[in-house]
């Protein structure tokens, strides 16, 4: 990090960091600490922009070390939004640390995806009710469509209908943002939209 972190400014400086943070509690006399340091430096480079590493000398920052319950070193703590997510004590190689990080950070990604899916399903239900339609009652097909919408949002930034071709022309493709401009005519004609997300009520 480019700033000088101390016991006094720790909370304030941590609050400015928008990525997950690894805190490496170490001491200059600790052999395993010296071995772990370059490993964490490489990890920070590999996860550049997605992860920050802060080194804390337990002798220079006793209050912060006490706050995190540091009794043995090296101790590595993973923070998200200022809160401890996980920690380990002792030396680990790069492969072990990457696996540890991915396991902990993947949980956040999965939770985020699940929340987005719940929000999209709620939106689809509200729209169908408001427009006088019903949703596809086949659970497998319904989930496939929802997953396709979320996948397109992740790839292209918009919830484009998964059943339509994406040209790359934002103006043309905007017509395919769900609920697309074609769905009302399709439901009136065929009883359902092309993707089969929305159906006419019987």
195 is catalytic: no
Tell me how far apart the alpha carbons of residues 85 and 102 are, in angstroms, rounded to a whole number: 12
Which residue in 154, 14, 153, 168 sits closest to 83, CA to CA? 14
What are the structure tokens assigned to 49, written together? 């922009």
Identify the active-site residue in 30, 161, 180, 193.
30
Identify the active-site residue in 33, 161, 180, 193.
33
Cis peptide, bond prior to residue 182, ω within 30 of zero: no
Output helix, strand, coil percentages for the chain, rounded to the nearest 5: 50, 15, 35
178 is catalytic: no
Are 164 and 145 contacting, i.e. CB atoms less than 8 angstroms apart? no
Q: Spell out the residues 6+ positions from residue 166 whose beta carbon is closer than 8 angstroms to its own.
A: 152, 156, 160, 173, 176
Are 33 and 18 contacting, i.e. CB atoms less than 8 angstroms apart? no
Q: Would you name the residues annotated as active-site residues? A: 30, 33
């Amino acid at each position: 990090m480019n700033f000088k972190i101390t016991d006094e400014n720790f909370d304030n400086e941590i609050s400015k960091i928008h990525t997950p943070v690894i805190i490496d509690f170490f001491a200059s006399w600790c052999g395993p600490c010296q071995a772990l340091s370059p490993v964490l430096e490489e990890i920070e480079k590999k996860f550049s922009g997605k992860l920050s590493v802060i080194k804390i000398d337990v002798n220079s920052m006793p209050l912060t070390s006490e706050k995190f319950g540091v009794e043995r070193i090296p101790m590595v703590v993973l923070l998200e939004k200022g809160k401890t997510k996980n920690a380990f004590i002792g030396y680990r190689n790069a492969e072990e640390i990457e696996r540890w990080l991915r396991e902990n950070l993947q949980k956040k990604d999965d939770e985020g995806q699940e929340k987005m899916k719940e929000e999209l399903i709620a939106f689809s239900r509200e729209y169908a009710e408001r427009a006088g339609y019903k949703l596809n009652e086949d659970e497998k097909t319904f989930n496939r469509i929802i997953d396709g919408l979320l996948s397109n949002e992740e790839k292209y930034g918009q919830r484009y209908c998964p059943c339509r071709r994406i040209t790359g022309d934002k103006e043309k493709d905007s017509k395919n943002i769900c609920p697309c401009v074609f769905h009302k005519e399709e439901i009136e004609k065929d009883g359902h939209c092309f993707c089969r997300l929305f159906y006419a009520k019987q």
